[in-house]
Structure 1
Amino acid sequence: MSTTQSERLRGLLEPLVTAAGLDLEEIEVSRAGRRRTLRIIVDSDDGVELDACAELSRSLSEKLDETDAMGEGEYVLEVSSPGADRPLTQHRHYVRATGRLVKLQLTAQGAEGAGELVARILTVDDEGLDLEIPGVKGRKPTARRVAFDEIAKARVEIEFSRKDKQDVKDEKEEEA
């Protein structure tokens, strides 16, 4: 059973990322002509600061220089956090997006069928999401439950005046 270069790199680098208090989200090796780029995407529950990326980049670079994991030749190492509109693919991504507006592509498995839904994540548990669908034209928002197996794709929507987690928590307590 052979392992890919990305799997070998993950095994080598993930302990350093974890030691920095971060999650290794993605490893991508790309080539443009003779130039290679190793892109490492990291995240945490509190986000990732630029200084943390710089410090991690130094430690990853040292580790890579000690090994032949990237083989011969030059490469560029990029360490960054995921973009604001990255896909939500794991449970922790949904938890981190609590309070955010998301666009969901739903499968036909759900009671309401396939389609697209834009809603705010209120809570996340092991089975799915509790959502608030914004009201349109003065109507009140509505609540909806979506199971993870009903979600084909999900992505955070960019908002310029979004509610933060505390605002959502305060609203839920007021309703109770």
Structure 2
Amino acid sequence: MSNPATSNKLKVEATAIHDVLVIEPKVFGDERGWFTESFNALDFAQATGLSVDFVQDNHSFSKQWTLRGMHFQQEHVQGKLVRVIAGAVFDAVVDLRKTSPTFGKWAGIELSAQNHRQLWVPPGLAHGFLVLSEAAEFLYKTTDYYHPQSEVCLAWNDSSIAINWPLPSGVLPNVNAKDAAGLSWDAIPKF
């Protein structure tokens, strides 16, 4: 990570993928527990330099070793602000933007209820996650509506991308039929 930025309430770090940001909100805690603003448009814009309009919130629950991804929409392209509110996941992105200096590269980060980290995934990236804990609840805000007709799935195990999923030896991820039939890097559309 490099190029950290801060606001009064947010710490922002760049990742190995161009424009993908790790966002850490300030957490206020005492003997009673803790409080954080999970999203504030003004603070987000000040800390990231981005002005985004979120139109949809999604919430998923998944069991350990469930892998969801690598998804993107060819039309109605979505930016996503993702976080975990229970458990822990390994969150991964692949850059599909032909003009990006990190085109064809991937990056991953652990997001958990304990670390409160969020990940900004700009439009033009494939996104997915692997559940590391016994179960996890995953929340994400999107900048466009879900459009099933334009959804595309990059194979989670494509050898040319070679995401290093933190699976224990001998454990295969639990994927649904759509994710199991994901397309190769050569077959998917790019931006």
Asked if these proteins are the same fold (TM beyond 0.5), I'd say no
* Structure ranking higher on relative contact order (CA contacts 8 Å, 6+ apart): 2
Q: Compute the TM-score of the two structures, normalised by the length of structure 1.
A: 0.24
Q: Compute the TM-score of the two structures, normalised by the length of structure 2.
A: 0.23
Larger radius of gyration: 1
